[in-house]
Amino acid sequence: MIKPMFAALLPELIELTSEVGERIMVLHSEKLDITVKSDNTPMTIADETAHKLISAKLEQLTPDIPILSEESHEIPFAIRKDWNEYWLIDPLDGTRDFLDGNYDFCINIAYVKNNYPIFGLIYAPFSKVHYYRIPGETSIKLLGNVCYPLQTSQPGRWQHVVIGHYSSTNKHLQKHLSNKTNFELFLLGSALKFCTIAEGKYHYYPKFGLCSEWDTAAGVCILEGAGGSVKGLDGKPLSYNTKEDSVSPAFLASA
């Protein structure tokens, strides 16, 4: 039942994220008031607007499935621990990039079942590109009305390493990269890093700074569906909704 369910939902979710993306792009051109949340990350009316639109549509499409969003009111683990399935969304991933005026932001929607993402959809509003993976299928890049199967690529002489714009000063990352040779470093915001590895543009994404489960779930699903992998520093896959907080551990994403 799972695969047909997402095949049926996909057109609705693509239409939804396209519409939300248009709203985000309109707001991108405006000077927005910023709220700093308790975890010291920024939030704007664009985050709130996207959250409300996406949550409302998911509640309509799948009324019995709970939703965990970056902009949700905090849901205690005592409640979440009983969720076998749920939607995990970041309505606007890359808010800092959004505020800085660049275009490295996206919408992340994942479906988590038994503590692991089985469906992932990422939409880049600026380039109007969707990346997605239906359970059991190869990941897809949708541009216009054309679908392109995604496949990671192995590096030739030089490995293309991609990190976030605000990660380069992380001491653990600097130490990790100091042990590598023959690589070129690229900067890119948000979960689009997973997508660019999935489509073969980059090869490796080490993450040592703070991020949350809604930042990674859709990207993990898409990258794995293109032949890549995402592992914690212990060599094990990431797990979701297994503890009080929603912080993701350090991880290494690769082709």
Q: CA separation (Å) from 112 to 63, 217, 225, 242?
A: 16, 8, 15, 12
Question: Which of 100, 107, 111, 139 minimizes the C-alpha distance to 124?
Answer: 107
Which pLDDT value is given to residue 69? 95
Which pLDDT value is given to residue 30? 77
Which pLDDT value is given to residue 28? 85
Helix (H) or strand (E) holding 95: helix 95-99
Which pLDDT value is given to residue 40? 57
The stretches in the chain having pLDDT less than 50 are none
Which pLDDT value is given to residue 210? 87
Residues of the chain within CATH 3.40.190.80 domain(s) are 159-254
Q: What is the C-alpha to C-alpha distance for residues 145 and 222, in angstroms, rounded to an integer?
A: 19
Predicted TM-score (pTM) above 0.75: yes
What CATH code would you report for 159-254?
Answer: 3.40.190.80
Handedness of CA 179, 182, 184, 190 (dihedral sign): negative
User: What are 97-133's pLDDT values in tens digits?
Assistant: 888 888 999 999 999 999 999 999 999 999 999 999 9
Which pLDDT value is given to residue 36? 58
**Topology at the third CATH level for domain 2-149:** Fructose-1,6-Bisphosphatase; Chain A, domain 1 (3.30.540)
Which pLDDT value is given to residue 89? 98
